[in-house]
Structure 1
Amino acid sequence: MAKDVRLYLDEVLRLNGARTMGAVPGSVWDAFGEAEPGADFTRIYPFVAGD
């Protein structure tokens, strides 16, 4: 998922579009990837919820 969000943000940047909607999810997925490398994407909820 982090890769997909990053691809979206790269394309928005390339097109000079607004990054507002993607910036927060992008930073959350990046933080999740750093905190739980290799974890299944379904672990995002416990990560965000603080479980």
Structure 2
Amino acid sequence: KWIGPALPWTLSANVALLTAIFLGGYWAYVTLSFGGYWAWDPVENAS
């Protein structure tokens, strides 16, 4: 019974989360100029 009203909230939360992850990855790649999404740099790992 609760699944019907919860489904739109779940889908919108997942879309928002995925958008934030992709935008954060793009921001880290372009703005911070680490040279890649993951370079095993201690500064990247600590943050």
Query: For this structure pair, what is the TM-score category when the shorter chain's length is used for normalisation?
Result: 0.3 to 0.5
Larger helix share, 1 or 2: 1
- State the TM-score, normalized to the length of structure 2: 0.39
Q: So what's the TM-score if we normalise by structure 1?
A: 0.38
